[in-house]
Amino acid sequence: MGYIKGFRHFKKVFFQPQVFVFILTGVGCIFLTFLTNDNALELGIAGIASIFIGIGVNNFTAIETEQKDGRKLDRKTQQAIETLHHIQVKIKKIKGMSGADPHLINAELEEMCDYIGLCIQFLEEV
């Protein structure tokens, strides 16, 4: 199952125009070497082809990195949202403690302060 998902992802990224066009151009240049008998010309054509293929691979890697960074940002944002939900629950709990023990309220406020520090840490890592 993982292989199929990975192949679909590869196919989706590979057929992006900024990847596919350069690699296809490089492969096309490679086939031009079959039409020549001069070794120096073949090496020149192969060098040009490798440049195009290299640009395509670089674009592929850039797209992969951008998607990976997006997933990391989404994960960190989700963690920050969950932390803020915990803080919201704590605030509602403190509102319901009217006239309760001040030590208990202080402990809840201290825990909320820890949650806020954790949320700040999540957002700073992004």
pLDDT > 60? residue 1: no
Decide: helix, strand or coil at residue 6: helix
Q: Residues with Cβ < 8 Å from 28, sequence gap 6 or more?
A: 49
For residue 45, the model assigns a pLDDT of: 92
Q: What is the dihedral of CA 39, 42, 44, 48, to 10 degrees?
A: -170
Give pLDDT, residue 47: 94
Q: How many CB atoms lie within 10 A of CB 18?
A: 13
Place of tokens 């820890």: 114
At 76-119, the pLDDT tens digits run 888 888 888 888 887 777 777 766 677 777 777 788 888 788 87
Confidence of residue 65 (pLDDT cuts 50, 70, 90): very high
Per-residue pLDDT tens over the stretch 30-59: 998 888 888 899 999 999 999 999 999 999
